[in-house]
Amino acid sequence: MRMTAEGLALIKRFEGFRADAYRDAVGVWTIGFGHTAQAGPPAVMAGMRVSREEAATILAADVEQFATGVRAAVTVPLSDGQFSALVSFTYNVGLGAFRGSSVLKAVNAGDFAAVPGRLALWVKAGGRTLPGLVKRRAAEAALFARATAAPEPQPPQSQPPEPQPPPDIQPPQPASLWRLFLAALRHLFHI
């Protein structure tokens, strides 16, 4: 299971890029593509600034950390698209929330049809439904559902070749069989 470019683009689109540190909807200091100190270094504080390139480097480290956490929590095989949808979700809500979520319970039960609906429940921050979270969960649910409906192509399985008779042995022809039969009769009856 690996993060896809589509999954990474989803995170970037919904997090957006902010060069200057800001407080998010629940008051947590955030910078770049949604990086918080809870995700790991660097610690975000007032007055901090990052370039787009620095933010992309931080994002890559954060996504790998969340991907590792999702891999550890999931007990069933997933397509890369399903996995990417879950990493995006976890990037937003945190590993602790993901581990205790009904989303993970449905995934590990193999109830993939229930996952989009479970994702749609996670649209509140600070006790309020946020339109941005509603859109993000819809995008994550769509990515998960697409990846569930259309499994990723597998390489074709090679079939063993059909056995062929060795080239120097030819099956007897009908006329040859008749001659063999007559020869056997002559031998038996001494004709």
Told to judge if 15 belongs to the known catalytic residues of this protein, a careful annotator would answer: yes
Report pLDDT digits (tens) over 49-88.
999 999 999 999 999 999 999 999 999 999 999 999 999 9
The CA-CA-CA angle for residues 122, 128, 48, to 5°, reads 85
Residues of the chain with pLDDT under 70: 149-185, 187-191
Rounded distance, CA 191 to CA 15, Å? 100
Q: Which of 15, 53, 54, 140 is catalytic?
A: 15
Question: Tokens in use for 106?
Answer: 């449905």
Question: Tokens in use for 159?
Answer: 């079939």
Phi (first) and psi of residue 163, to 5 degrees: -65, 135
Indicate the angle between helix axes 52-73 and 80-93, nearest 10 degrees.
110
Taking CA atoms, 113 is separated from 50, 64, 67, 146, in Å, by 40, 26, 22, 11
pTM over 0.85: no
> Using an 8 Å Cβ cutoff, are 33 and 9 in contact?
no
Check whether the bond before 42 is cis (ω within 30° of 0). Answer: yes
* Domains of the chain and CATH, by start: 5-149 (1.10.530.40)
